[in-house]
C-alpha cells in the first residue's frame, strides 16, 4: 500500500481549494459570461487570456513617466466598452482633461461625463458612485491626483463597486506603485520607447504585469499614430550590424 507524504497531500488540498475559490469568484463576477471588451489594440488583446478585458473589473495602467501613452490606451478601451451604449466617466480632479481629445478618438460627446472634484473625500465618493452605476460603461480615474496613496481597503471597495456596476474601471497610476498590492484583475505597465521617424508616431512597450488568469511578464511593442489615431504592432527595431575587425587586427 502506497502512502502519500503529508506535504504532498497538503499541497494537493491547497491547490483544490484555490480552484474552488476561483470558481466561486467567477460565479459572483458581474458580466463573467459576457463577451470580453477589446482594448482597442489588437496586439494588447492577444496578451490577455480572454482576448480583451472583462466587464465588472478594474484595470491598472501604470505609466513609466509623463506622456507615456497610458491615458491614450485606456481611452481606447473606454471607447470600445461604450460602443454598445453607456457613458464614459472621467474623474478629473486637476481639471487637466481635454474632452475634444476624447472625441477625436471616437467617443461620442453625449457619452462623455467629466466629473471634477475639489477634495479627496469628494473624489473617492464620486469614483465609487460612477463605478457602481450600470449606466457607465467605463470609468477613467487617476487615484493619486490629490497626492495620497490608494489604501488597500479603498482599493477593495473600488473592486466591489465595479463588480456591482458591471463596467470597466480604468485606473491610471504611476509606475512607482508597482510594488504595492493590487485588487485589479489586470495590471499593465506602459513604457515609452525611442522611435525613429515622424514625431507623430510614438512607440510604447506594454507589459502585462499581472492577470488573474495568465502569467505576467509578457510584453508587446506598439506604435501610436497621433495623426490617424490608430495603434498598431511596432515593426522590429533595426540595429546596425556589429563591426567586424579585420583578420589579424
Question: Is 55 part of any domain?
Answer: yes
pLDDT range class, residue 3, cuts 50, 70, 90: low
| Least confident piece of the model among 5-9, 86-90, 143-147 | 5-9
Give the pLDDT of residue 67: 77
Instruction: Tell me the CATH number at 56.
Output: 3.40.50.300
Question: Is 167 part of any domain?
Answer: yes
Burial of 50 (0-12, 13-18, 19+ CB in 10 A): middle
Question: Is 78 part of any domain?
Answer: yes
Give the pLDDT of residue 148: 79
**What are the C-alpha distances in Å from 233 to residues 63, 113, 178, 221, 222?**
19, 31, 25, 6, 4
Residue 26 pLDDT exceeds 60: no
| Least confident piece of the model among 21-25, 201-205, 210-214, 226-230 | 21-25
pLDDT (mean) for 161-186: 96
Question: Is 26 part of any domain?
Answer: no
List the alpha helices (DSSP H) in the chain: 6-28, 42-45, 70-81, 99-104, 120-132, 152-165
Supply 143's cell numbers.
487615484
Task: Tell me the helices (H) and strands (E) count for the chain, helix number first.
Answer: 6, 9
Full domain range(s) for residue 44: 36-233
Say how far apart CA 232 and CA 22 lie, in whole Å: 34
Question: Is 11 part of any domain?
Answer: no
Question: Is 4 part of any domain?
Answer: no
Give the pLDDT of residue 245: 43
How many distinct structural domains can be found in the chain? 1
pLDDT range class, residue 50, cuts 50, 70, 90: very high
Q: pTM for the whole thing?
A: 0.80
The end-to-end CA distance of the chain, in Å, is: 71
| Least confident piece of the model among 68-82, 109-123, 186-200 | 186-200
The helix/strand/coil state of 86 is coil
Best mean pLDDT range from 7-21, 23-37, 42-56, 213-227: 42-56
pLDDT range class, residue 33, cuts 50, 70, 90: low
Q: How high does pLDDT run on average in the chain?
A: 84
Q: Which residue pairs, CB below 8 angstroms and at least 24 apart, start in 134-137?
A: 134/165, 134/166, 134/167, 135/86, 135/87, 136/86, 136/87, 136/88, 136/89, 136/165, 136/167, 137/78, 137/81, 137/82, 137/84, 137/85, 137/86, 137/87, 137/88, 137/111, 137/167, 137/168
Question: Is 85 part of any domain?
Answer: yes
Amino acid at each position: 500500500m502506497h502512502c502519500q507524504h503529508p506535504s504532498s497531500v497538503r499541497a494537493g488540498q491547497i491547490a483544490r481549494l484555490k480552484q474552488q475559490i476561483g470558481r466561486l469568484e467567477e460565479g459572483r463576477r458581474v458580466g463573467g459570461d459576457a463577451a470580453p471588451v477589446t482594448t482597442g489594440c489588437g496586439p494588447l488583446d492577444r496578451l490577455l487570456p480572454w482576448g480583451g478585458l472583462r466587464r465588472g473589473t478594474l484595470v491598472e495602467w501604470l505609466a513609466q513617466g509623463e506622456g507615456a501613452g497610458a491615458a491614450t490606451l485606456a481611452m481606447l478601451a473606454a471607447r470600445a466598452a461604450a460602443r454598445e451604449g453607456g457613458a464614459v466617466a472621467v474623474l478629473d480632479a486637476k481639471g487637466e482633461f481635454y474632452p475634444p481629445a476624447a472625441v477625436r478618438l471616437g467617443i461620442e460627446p453625449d457619452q462623455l461625463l467629466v466629473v471634477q472634484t475639489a477634495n479627496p473625500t469628494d473624489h473617492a465618493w464620486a469614483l465609487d458612485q460612477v463605478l457602481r452605476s450600470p449606466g457607465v460603461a467605463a470609468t477613467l480615474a487617476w487615484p493619486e491626483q490629490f497626492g495620497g496613496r490608494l489604501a488597500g481597503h479603498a482599493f477593495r471597495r473600488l473592486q466591489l463597486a465595479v463588480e456591482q456596476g458591471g463596467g470597466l474601471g480604468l485606473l491610471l497610476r504611476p509606475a512607482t506603485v508597482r510594488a504595492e498590492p493590487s485588487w485589479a484583475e489586470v495590471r499593465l505597465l506602459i513604457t515609452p520607447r525611442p522611435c525613429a521617424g515622424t514625431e507623430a508616431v510614438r512607440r510604447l512597450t506594454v507589459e502585462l504585469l499581472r492577470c488573474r488568469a495568465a502569467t505576467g511578464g509578457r510584453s508587446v511593442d506598439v506604435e501610436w499614430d497621433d495623426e490617424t489615431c490608430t495603434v498598431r504592432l511596432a515593426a522590429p527595431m533595426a540595429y546596425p550590424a556589429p563591426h567586424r575587425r579585420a583578420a589579424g587586427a
